[in-house]
Structure 1
Amino acid sequence: MLVPVDLTSVKDVLAQIWTAATSPVPSPAQPVVLAAGLVALAVVLVGPVWRTARHVITIAHEGAHALVATLTGRRLDAIRLHSDTSGLTISAGRPRGFGMVATTFAGYVGPGLVGLGAAWLLRAGYAVGLLWLLVALLALLLLKIRNLFGLWSVLVAGVGLVGVSWFLDEPAQAAVAYAVTWFLLLGSVRPVLELQAQRRRRAARQSDADQLARLTGLPGLFWVLVFLAVTVGALALGATWILGPVPLSA
């Protein structure tokens, strides 16, 4: 039996979400912003917590591969997220050339660049809009997830963000948005360091850096250093935007 859908109610909900997402909200007090950063830093540094939270970075990593593959004209076939925090994005197209290089490069720098974009939105006052934007991006990602653990990971992240965006008040939403942004910025650096540690043990011969080495002729270490420069640069600039004075126009 088909259950009738009240289109008016759906439109009202969407209108409410749009209004919340496009309305600037006051930035939290500086102690709240700093506390959010310290919490994110602790998550990144404490091993057992990091092993769970790292799934968020993997989602951003594989999402970046998928986005760049699509933008460069490759056909995106599947995204898989695994319980060991690894992931795989499968796209079809030329095995070499700019599209393949850009797609491979995007993964490790993706979380930091997403964090940098989030910091820009926070600086403009759109903390709630950032949360809803992340929900929308996760919903798009779901369309290409092809394994159960990946579906579970993205759904848990999405439901969590929806809960924060719908049920909490604006100050709490802003605090969560700052914590998520700090985590993306800080959490983007550690996987690059872990990658090089694995490469020294010869345990990551199929890593993005080594694939880029085969595609470009430049050594894998060069690409690790580029990943590190981009992620640390995004962290530095994002922190400046988050902690600096808010522009008068914001």
Structure 2
Amino acid sequence: AMLDHRAVVIGREIADYREALTALAAGEPSGRLVSGVAPGGTSRTVFVFPGQGAQWVGMGVGLLDSSPVFAERLVECAVALEPFTGWNLVDVLRGVEGVPGLERVDVVQPALWAVMVSLARLWEHLGVVPDAVVGHSQGEIAAAHIAGVLSLEDAARVVALRSRTIAAIAGNGGMVSLPLPVEDASALIEWWHGRVFVAAVNGPSATVVAGDGDALAELLAHCEGAEIRARKVPVDYASHTPHMAA
């Protein structure tokens, strides 16, 4: 409920939450508690565009068939992409036989970009107009287009050629998701200094690291022994690290 009086409790253990909630109920301060009264006035809207990993097989197909606005925008993206990709975006999303799939980086990144752009245009058509936009990786390219910084054609060129370049250097690296705060993750990978790097901070206890494939294999083995639930991201390149300098 969008109530005026709001509070957030912060912790890792049940006792942490209990302490903060007790302080909240008593009207007392706590280092695990943030509370306040929401300001009045009109709320603002932000579109947040994610990076790779938000995809699934069949994404967008339902809207293609049910929303003329979404379908029209997606076809525009498909036309803008095809000179740089050689495949048809609509065929990719529909899983047409003989068309490359989303497991390829040079397919999934342009496809995600196009779906994000088309969704944003659909939201705007429905009256949900952003005051600001922000994005990560190919989501940043989508945000730049929606903000008017890049034309559709220029954004398509950037996302398609960028993903083709990544595909060309794939095979020598990887990425691992760690259920740890960035500080703890940074301390953990210090053993592999210069070979493994922090690549993305996805939340207070969610950090992605990336780097050399053999170093990540050692990291995964270490995490298994330490009962840290690390997960290998299904890519064979190290995004957002010095690997990308090439």
Q: Shorter-normalised TM-score: what interval?
A: under 0.3
**Greater share of strand:** 2
Higher-Rg structure is 2
Report the TM-score, using the length of structure 2 for normalisation: 0.25
**Greater share of helix:** 1
Report the TM-score, using the length of structure 1 for normalisation: 0.24
Query: Which structure has more RCO (C-alpha within 8 Å, separation ≥ 6)?
Result: 1
